Every structure is written in structure tokens, then in C-alpha cells.
Chains A and B, each alone.
Chain A
Amino acid sequence: MTATPDAAPILLEARALSYYRQDEPVFGPLDFSVRAGEVALIEGDNGSGKTTLLRILAGLLHVDDGELHWRGRPWRREEHLGDTVFLGHHLGLKSDLSARENLQVAAGLYGTRCGRHVDGALADVGLAGYEDEPVRRLSAGQKKRAALARLLLLPATLWLLDEPYANLDRTGIDLVNRLLAEHSSSGGAVLVTSHGAVSFLHGEPKRVRMHA
């Protein structure tokens, strides 16, 4: 590793990463790295493979070609699991359970961040008072917030967020930005996808372009 003493360590590094679906190239080769404390924006048009890339980084798809390193060592599913949370298009909430019950299941599986509680996380994302409502009765934006509460609760270092701003109102967008800022300042890293036209991210994030 070529990290200078004052630079944060590289968490995730991809070298010539590419993915094929039935011999059709989906994307790649891609080179990028994400350091602790960084928020990286994955840019690309519809169908450019942003979601596929996130699914590979989460460990749902296997890498076809290229190398992936996690904390300086070759990527292995077992070391990576639990240190990453993935928030995809499907939010992973059971619609017959309440937001609280959904988070309790997630906490049981992943463990919780130090000093974090289910109710506190729900209050932080603006769902106080809706804890016991079945997720099916929440609005699309509230469902998204319930899924975002998982980010606060679980002890993961790397967040993989697929279109986290979709369905959210003004305050919801501010909420996501606040979550990202807090997570990166505490040494976590985030990969966010966006289809280019609008970026709600503050500042000038690192960019990963799907197309050369």
C-alpha cells in the first residue's frame, strides 16, 4: 500500500474489475479505491451497471474478472460480511412487520453499533410515533427512512447505497446527507449510486464513472 502517514487507510480497492452477463460485458474494467472517511459517488446512465457493481461489492454476485481488495487483503466473503450494509432497490423490510420489528431482526442478525438502540435509530430518521405501524401502511418515503435507520443501527464500516435519495422529500435528502457526513467523519466509507443528472451530495465527492 502506498498510503502516506496522514492519509486514511484504503478500505476497498478494485483493480480492472469487470463483469459479464452471458458473455456480454456489463461494465469494466474499473479501477477505484475508497478510503476510510470517504463518500464516493458512482455515476453512470441507466443500465450502466451501477447496481451490479454494488451487488458485487456487497458479496451477492461473484467477480468475473479483476481484483478486489478489502482492507489491503484479497476480498473474502467471510471477512467482508457484517462489515458492510447494502441498501438496494428492495429495501429488505417485511411489510407485515412494524418498523421496530424489522430493525430488531436486523439487529439480531448483524449486531448493533455501540450505544445504539432500535427506538433511537427510528427517532433519528424521523419515524418516532410510527414504530409499531406495519411497514405496509407507511408511505414510500417512510419505508425508505425505516431502511435508512438500519444504517444507523448496524455496526458496519462500508455502506453501499443504491439510489438512497429516491422517494425522499427535502428533509429526507438532508437526513441522508447528515447520515453520510456522520458516518464518514467517524471513519466509515460510503458508496452511493446516482444516475448523474442530479446529485444531492454536499461538497465535491470522489467520483467513480461507470463509463470510461
Chain B
Amino acid sequence: MSHAPLAPACAAVLRRDLTLAWRRRGDIAMPVLYALIVTTLFPFALGPEDALLQRIAGGAVLVTMLLAMLLALDAMFRSDIEDGSLEQLMLSPQPLALMMGMKILAHWITTALPLIIIAPLLAGMLHLPAAVMPVLIYALLLATPLLSLLGAVLVALTAGSRRSGMLLALMLLPLCVPVVIFAAGAVAAAQQGLPWLAPIAWLGAALAMALVLAPLACAAALRIALDA
């Protein structure tokens, strides 16, 4: 019995999810469009006052990004459960947690990365000073994978139940709050010329912990969801 080696298995799962996302490009564009529309509406609703927009820019962009990510979160495992691919994945002789990690990575690449790429544009529209832009990108680079990982665990937990969207939103809210506080805190500190490394470091620490624990929790939750 020669089992498939680990690296090609990881690559196969990653490539599969990226190909699927590419075949449904419209779905990737949705969160980006949503974020674009929301940030465009802020100046219309609040008035084109530079000082005001500058003050809310960091927070508005962060919250918009995180909400845009939630749009795609719900669908993370749904199609895989419906067509039986998840069963095939679970029965393969590979560590399920690692395979889940690959799926989460693919999800991050397809939903969060496009958002991070347009983040400078969105922040620019709200007159965020150029000097603060790198801090916003750092904060997003740490906050979005953290949210993908936390979200994946919750999606896996609610995978067995129908119409889990509402439950998911309720469960995700308390987990989002610290992420938003630290990410927005870093941007606000940078805007006021204060040291911003501490909140970024907190996000980094949380991300490191989630990277290790979330795929394991995700795998365990999906096993339970299918064992019913």
C-alpha cells in the first residue's frame, strides 16, 4: 500500500479550489463590488468633508472589508457537502486538518486578497493619508486570514444545520470584535503619529494561534457534522 504523499495532496486541494473559484469569477467579484459600493456611499451620506472622512477612513475601510468577507464565508463548505466531495476528502488517507487548512487558504486567496488589493483605492477615496496606508495593509494582511480561520471553524460547526447563515452571523460577531478593535486601533494610532506596533503584534499573535488551532477545530467539527 503506497499512500499519496502529502505535498501533492495539499497542492491538489489548493489547485482544485482555486480552479473552481476561477471558473466562477463572478462570485469572487461580488465582495469586491460590495466593498467598493459601500465605501463610495460614505462621502455621499456624510458629506464630502475632508477632516471627517479622514477620521473615519481607517475604521470604515476595515469594517467594510470584514463584512465583505462574511458574504463569501457561508458558502465555504456548502457545495462540497452537497456534491459529496467533502466525504471523499474526509475518507482520503491525508490529515484532514491540513486539507482544511488548504481550503481556508484558497478561500483567503479568492476573497480576501482581491479586497486587500483594492484597499488602498478605497482608503484613498476616504482621504486616508498616504503615510498611514502601509499600516492599513499590515492590519488587513493579519486581520483577514484571522477572520477566514475563525469563520471556517464556525462554518464547519454549523455545516450540519440548514439555513445556518443567521446562526453564523450571531456566532461570528463576538469573534470579530477584537479583530476590528486591534486592526482599527493600529490604523488610528498611526494616524495620530503614535506607535502602532503593539496592536499589530497582538493581531499577529492571534493569527499564529489560529493558524495552528483553527484547522484542527475545523476538521473535528466537520467530522461531527457529517456523523449524523
Contact = CB atoms under 8 A, between A and B. Distances in A.
A and B, one complex? yes
Interface of A: 58-62, 81-86, 88-97, 101, 104-111, 155, 157
Contacts of B192: none
Contacts of B83: 90-95
B24 A96 contact: yes
Nearest to A114: B2
A82 B227 contact: no
A76 to B, nearest CB: 12
B23 A96 contact: yes
A146 to B, nearest CB: 12
Contact of B12 (A58, A95, A109): A109
Contact of A83 (B1, B11, B24): B1
Interface string B1-24: 111100011011101100110011
A86 B90 CA distance: 11
A155 B2 contact: yes
Contact of B3 (A89, A91, A111): A111
A110 B2 contact: no
Contact of B227 (A61, A96, A155): A61
Contacts of A111: 2-4, 93
Contacts of B3: 82, 110-111
Given A82-B93, A105-B13, A110 B4 contact: yes
Among A62, A91, A95, A111, max chain B CB count under 10 A is at A111
A60 B16 contact: no
Secondary structure class of chain B's binding surface, majority of residues: helix
B224 to A, nearest CB: 10
29 contacts: A60-B90, A82-B91, A83-B93, A85-B91, A88-B84, A90-B84, A90-B87, A92-B87, A92-B88, A94-B16, A94-B20, A94-B79, A94-B83, A96-B24, A97-B19, A101-B19, A104-B12, A105-B16, A107-B4, A108-B9, A108-B11, A108-B12, A109-B94, A109-B99, A110-B4, A110-B92, A111-B93, A155-B2, A157-B1
B89 interface: yes
Interface of B: 1-4, 8-9, 11-13, 15-16, 19-20, 23-24, 79, 82-85, 87-94, 99, 226-227
B5 to A, nearest CB: 8
B20 A109 contact: no
A101 to B, nearest CB: 7
Nearest to A160: B91
B2 A109 contact: no
Contact of B92 (A61, A81, A97): A81
Given A58-B91, A82-B93, A92 B11 contact: no
A60 B91 contact: yes
Contacts of B226: 60
Contact of B4 (A62, A85, A95, A109): A109
Nearest to B80: A94
Nearest to B24: A96
Contact of A109 (B24, B79, B88, B227): B88
